[in-house]
Amino acid sequence: MAVRRRLAYLAAVLTLLAGSGFAVDRWVWAPAMISTAGAGFDRPLPIPPLAPSHRDRHGRRVYDLRAQAGEHDFGAGPVRTEGFDGSYLGPTLRMARGEQVLVDVHDDLPEPTSVHWHGMRVPAAADGGPHQLIAPGSSWSASWRVDQPAATLWYHPHPHGATAQQVYRGLAGMIIVDDPATGSPALPHEYGVDDIPVIVQDKRFTADGRLDAANAPLAGIGLLGDTVAVNGVTGPFLPVVTRRVRLRLLNASNARTYDFGLTDGRRFALVGTDGGLLEAPVRLRRIMLSPGERAEIVVDLDPGRTEVLRSFPHPLGAGRLGDRFVGGDDTLDILQLRPAPVLRPGPDLPAVLAPLPLLTRDRAARTREFHLDDDAINGLPMDMDRVDARPIAGSTEIWRVVNDDGIPHNFHVHGVQFQVLTVAGAAPPPQLRGWKDTVFLPPGRPVELIMQFPRHPGPGVYMFHCHLLYHEDSGMMGQYAVIDPGS
Ligand code: C2O
Ligand code: CU
Ligand code: CU
């Protein structure tokens, strides 16, 4: 059934049931809202290790990643999971702009996988999408030259039809790109001390304690959990020893959108979005992230005074009834920050962070339209043998993306970082004024994205898709190939 019609159908059914005396509120409406506020924080936040690397004789920085099955304890005993170089999640790949990197990926899983570098500018053949499948027991290598601003990116599998399940079982990790020219040295930058990866995922467990991978009933958006794991544990706290802490927030959830803020209402500084730092810090009380999106925020702390990062209820555009079933009414505690009684001072937040060259409308060679609806884009479900767009290498285009469905989606483009020109015809809010590769797409609010395609993509295709993984797996994905100017 078309996802759009699912919520309308749901509304009709609920009305009917209510009319027939069925306790809709007690059985359907009330349980669809989740709150973990005040559940408590009793586990130290684990920090994913930095992936070891070595230089090969060509001067490349080489990493090894092994996708494997294992057992992991989120907090209530061991469950079957998967991870890279461990049983859940993976190490953080840290790399510097300008260096040539090579990642050797080995598949120790009982099924094929792939590893995609989300947000990274890489040649199409190294992108790790559904065309670069790794068979069980075999390896695949991807190599590229890091050429983009300092940013928080991530990696995860991308085998068509199986991405949701593999990511849910734990296959994901962070990538940090360093670049002195675009990464402000005045920002907190000591990994695991005042510069903290915060990988947020919602989980659900079965009565006998296994990971529950079933989709949420009714809503049509896939898997929504009732428990939040951060870096793989529930109820995490972070001991803080510095006045300021930088949180690299990554929404690595399957379908859930979060609206992060601090429970005492204080503002934080948003310093970076998906693809790099903003031109200047923006003071905000909330930052909303849909699946796949990242935000770097800096929080100012008072000595000895704990703070809680929470996700608050927020409209998702599916209407008052619909929002409840897609997670919009939920309140989820994410992370407690526990500052020491005495905090190490650090430099003030700089007024200017990084240069942000604007892509302006007049540079665009053409505009394309993409309509998301019913497990398809422009009416066509994903087909690995079909190329939907052929932009010219190095050219700039505007992509106008519209959600024609009744439920929330988002939109992610591989191979590029884009800028948001407009949201529903208006200038974007400050949190959408930096480099982005994924953008939230509520029903009926078109976004215009502007992007410049790689100059040297090599052969192969890049994906664009909804990053609600169930939708992506169900066909809300397309492919583009970058072609030579002469062809
Ligand atoms: Cu994060 Cu096509 O993926
Ligand atoms: Cu991607
Ligand atoms: Cu979607």
Q: Which atom of ligand 1 is nearest to the CA of 292?
A: 1
- Give yes or no for residue 146 CB within 6 A of ligand 1: no
Question: How many domains, the chain?
Answer: 3
Q: Name the domain boundary from 315, 335, 354.
A: 354
Identify whether residues 293 and 390 lie together within a single domain. no
Final residue of a structural domain among 324, 354, 384:
354
pLDDT tens by residue, 293-302: 999 999 999 9
pLDDT > 80? residue 475: yes
Same domain, 134 and 270: yes
CATH of the domain at 458: 2.60.40.420
Q: Is 116 in the pocket of ligand 1 (CB under 6 A)?
A: yes
pLDDT tens, 59-114? 999 999 999 999 999 998 999 999 999 999 999 999 999 999 999 999 999 999 99
Tell me: do 422 and 474 sit in the same domain.
Answer: yes
Ligand closest to Cα of 160 equals: 1
The whole-number pLDDT of residue 1 equals 42
Distances (CA, A) of 288 to 50, 187, 243, 263: 27, 22, 24, 15
DSSP H or E run through 398: strand 396-403
- Range from 10-24, 31-45, 258-272 that averages highest in pLDDT: 258-272
pLDDT of residue 31: 80
In a domain, 486, yes or no: no
CA of 95 to the centre of ligand 2 (A): 18
Closest ligand by atom to 157 CA: 1
Let me know whether 319 and 397 are in one domain. no
Q: Are residues 365 and 321 in the same domain?
A: no
Neighbour-count burial for 54-71, b at 16+ CB within 10 Å, e otherwise? eeeeeebbbbbbbbbebe
Indicate which ligand has the atom closest to the C-alpha of 401. Answer: 3
Q: Give alpha helix (H) positions in 243-353.
A: 319-325
- Which residue puts its alpha carbon closest to atom 1 of ligand 1? 118
**Is the CB–ligand 1 distance for residue 412 below 6 Å?**
yes
60 lines ligand 1 (CB under 6 A): no
Please tell me whether residues 331 and 465 are part of one structural domain: no
Q: Is 121 in the pocket of ligand 1 (CB under 6 A)?
A: no
Name the closest ligand to CA 173.
1
The last residue of a domain, from among 305, 324, 354: 354
| Ligand 1 atom at minimum distance from 154 CA | 1
- 468 and 407, same structural domain? yes
The confidence band for 32, taking pLDDT boundaries of 50, 70 and 90, is confident
pLDDT tens digits for range 337-388? 999 999 999 889 999 999 999 999 999 999 999 999 999 999 999 999 999 9
pLDDT score at 26: 76
Look at ligand 1, atom 3, and give the residue with the nearest C-alpha. 118
Residue 255 Cα to ligand 1 midpoint, Å, equals: 13
Average confidence (pLDDT) over 174-201 = 96
pTM (2 decimals)? 0.96
On whether both 214 and 279 belong to a single domain, the answer is yes
**Which one-letter amino acid corresponds to residue 426?**
A
Residues around the ion ligand 3 (C-beta < 5 A): 409, 466, 468, 471
Q: In terms of Cα–Cα distance, which of 49, 53, 61, 120 is closest to 91?
A: 49
**323 and 472 together in one domain:** no
In a domain, 12, yes or no: yes
- What is the CA(423)–ligand 3 centre distance, in A? 18
Per the structure, the complete domain to which residue 27 belongs is given by: 3-32
Q: Are 345 and 365 within one domain? A: no
Verify that 25 and 78 share a domain, yes or no.
no
Q: Mean pLDDT of all residues in the chain?
A: 95
Using DSSP's 3-state secondary structure scheme, residue 483 falls into: strand
Residue 487 lies inside a defined structural domain of this protein: no
Q: Are residues 79 and 223 in the same domain?
A: yes
Average pLDDT over residues 129-141: 98
| Alpha-carbon gap, residue 151 to 347, rounded angstroms | 20
Residue 225 lies in a domain: yes
Q: Does position 163 have pLDDT exceeding 50, yes or no?
A: yes
**Is 373 part of any domain?**
yes
Separation in Å, CA 339 to CA 231, 307, 336, 343, 453: 20, 8, 10, 7, 44
Q: Is residue 335 part of a domain?
A: yes
Lowest-pLDDT choice from 315-324, 380-389, 444-453: 315-324
Please state, in angstroms and rounded to a whole number, the distance separating the CA atoms of residues 281 and 272. Answer: 8
